[in-house]
Chain A
Amino acid sequence: MKKAALIATLITTVITLTACKEETEAKAGIDPKVYTDSLFAVMKADRSNYTKLIIQRLGPNGAGAIKPDEHWEDIENGALLPAQMFRAGAEAVATMTDDFTYSLQSLWPINKQNAPKTPAEEAGLKYIAENPGENYYGEETLGDVTYYTAVYPDVAVSPACTGCHNDHKDSPKTDFKIGEVMGGVVIRVPL
């Protein structure tokens, strides 16, 4: 009888500990901030590299082999503008996973569809514009899903960025300078 009670106690203990361990592991998943910061690092690196190593090097300011243009599909040797390349990446990712989404937005967008729409986007874009070098982190509920929403500054890295935005007829701001925040990358992770 004693032996049976001992075995039962041992089994219960093992099951409880295993369950606790699983719970602890589940809770110890990656911090959303670390997750979105890491995603942004990759995005920023790719975006800067495309701008500098492809557009600047092979475009009209370099070898002149490609023609970066808003309507790149319509011209021979047309290449996507850096912002379009970024959006193309975001759209491609959206076809592969629902685990996160990202978009490029601005308080001064050329295309009005890229202006902030949600309160978190509005607050985030304002925060990164007023606090250079800082990021914005928050939570919001869209539809019936709650998201961890992070907004990172998108800074003008080359004359191609400022020139295009300052000269575009649909741009609401025409005095961007290199190093200034032109918009923000909004990354969302469903919680």
Chain B
Amino acid sequence: MSFDAEKVRRDFPILHQEVHGRPLVYLDSAATSQKPQAVLDAVSRYYERDNANVHRAVYELAARATRDYENARATVASHLRATDPREIVFVRGATEAINLVAQAWGRSNVGEGDEILVTGMEHHSNIVPWQILCEEKGATLRVAPLDDAGDVILEEYEKLLSPRTRLVALVHVSNALGTVNPVEEMGALARDRGIPVLVDGAQALPHMEVDVQNLGVDFYAFSGHKAFAPMGIGALWARSEHLEAMPPWQGGGEMIASVSFEKSTWNDIPWKFEAGTPNVGGAVGLAAALEYLERVGLDAVAAWESELLAYGTEVLGEVPGLEMVGRARRKAGVLSFVLDFAHPHDVGTILDREGIAVRTGHHCAQPVMERYGVPATVRASLALYNSREDLDELARGLAVVREMFG
């Protein structure tokens, strides 16, 4: 499928503006993506025509809102190649999805002396929920180390899979390094030993096809806002046998079958995990975003971004004093680097004045910064709407930094 970069760019209204008198160059999609008109329209159409609470009342609007919400679930399921929409739990984002598993699954499956295995490139959201669980249960968090390029050292990872390992929790695509982990291979090594696998897919969904059947994992968490949907909506996919066995994690309306002061019983999956009024508008926006991605074509998106990443690596490679942090075998969407003549934070301010938005800092991955001996990096991250010109602008902005600091 051919990719019309110009056309895709036109689909995102926010990109067509000036910042500090310069055309906006948005290179921070790993923090949050911009939204196409199709998503903005779907959300406003929902609030203009269909808004009501779901699964409750008998009137027309309530029926439409319920239908929209459950259709969105089916869209997410089909996008992830899940076999059953009941395996999709709507949450606020990847962070909440991981916390849900840590609490609902972890509390009943992890005990004293057990181990949870993560990798050295996890976002704080796939570290801290496990630390809280380990603390509570007397379990230990183990960390598979990274090599200098930014890949997990697979032999070390395999050695760390022990009879005490209860879960492997790993990131699909690293937000700080761009590394695409070999999830199928790592997942298979765990599952061969009967260890379930959770994948933090927040950075994968906007860049590539995600097929949970092929990945062969147990839990897949993601945030809508990184994948062109509004903030405040995301999903957890989990195999239905896990969801059936897991106790609820938050109590309230919607998640119950019946309530009395003596005892309450739980609703079926996935609603058992969706206490309270859900973010229906967000779910509608998420479905519209995934449909948009599918219309553009996931293979075309992946091919375009891989071209951009190669071009960006080449352009940045010519900047004197620049060192890339993260040179993994397979990468997606992220160019993370340091300059020997300026601190990332100063780089960020100067680029901003040139209209270029990049992230500077530790990217909520402090252990990654520590591993590579840098306090912070400059991160330019890509999405389908970026162009070669954006990367040329970045290089030009870095020349301005050099002029000031070099």
A and B associate in one complex: no
